[in-house]
Amino acid sequence: MSTFSFHANKAVTTGEGGSASTNDAELAATMRLLVNHGMTPEEPYVHRILGRKFRMTNLVAAVGVGQVQRWDDLVAARLRVSERYRELLPDACSGPACAPWARRSCWLHTIRVPRRTAVVDRLRGAGIDARPIWPALDRQPVLAHVSGNFPVAHAIAGAAMWLPTYGQLRDDKIQYIAEHVTAAVTDVGPGEALSHA
């Protein structure tokens, strides 16, 4: 199965919700049951399993169809922003991880900096909506039962941050943001070495 989020902040969005695809007929039938109160399409109001109501409305789906028609442009617009950041901040950006069979897209442009919290604070002080990335998954209370050592995840979770990324972000603003990132990194100093670098 593949899953897609169409949350409001994604490159392709329906405001909220998402979709799942599969080439397995049995899984598809189960998903159709789950999204619609556990009712089969063949037997209305007969509940085969305990389902939920995850149906997308036609109104929302119409937005999604419009988005998919603009898919190439929407993805290209975000990639332009990401590539520009990459040019301006080569030291903070890692190469795009992309399988040979895939085409890259970009959700939010992510950089890695020493003393991330201080850098984020400085950028926010300059009116830039920079955000630290999420904590490593094993630090989430819901996954507290997971044991193990995850040094790479922890190093990245402690050093990575998102820069503003949306298709209409103008080049002069990207330049402004990149200049402030460079200045902030210089100002706050080197911090601890990144062990995974």
Answer yes or no whether residue 54 interacts with ligand PLP by CB under 6 A.
no
By the 8 A CB rule, do 160 and 133 touch?
A: yes
SS3 state at 185: helix
The tokens describing 68, both together, are 């998919």
Which of 3-11, 27-35, 116-124, 171-179 is the region at the interface with ligand PLP (rule: CB under 6 A)?
3-11
Nearest residue (CB) to ligand PLP, 10 versus 32: 10
Answer yes or no whether residue 52 interacts with ligand PLP by CB under 6 A.
no
**Residue 85 CB contacts under 8 Å (≥ 6 apart), including other chains:** 93, 109, 111, 163, 174, 177, 178
Answer yes or no whether residue 107 interacts with ligand PLP by CB under 6 A.
yes
Which of 2-10, 19-27, 51-59, 91-99 is the region at the interface with ligand PLP (rule: CB under 6 A)?
2-10
Nearest residue (CB) to ligand PLP, 107 versus 166: 107
Q: Compute the C-alpha angle 17/108/127, nearest 5°.
A: 110
Give the footprint of ligand PLP on this chain (CB under 6 A): 5, 7, 10, 18, 107
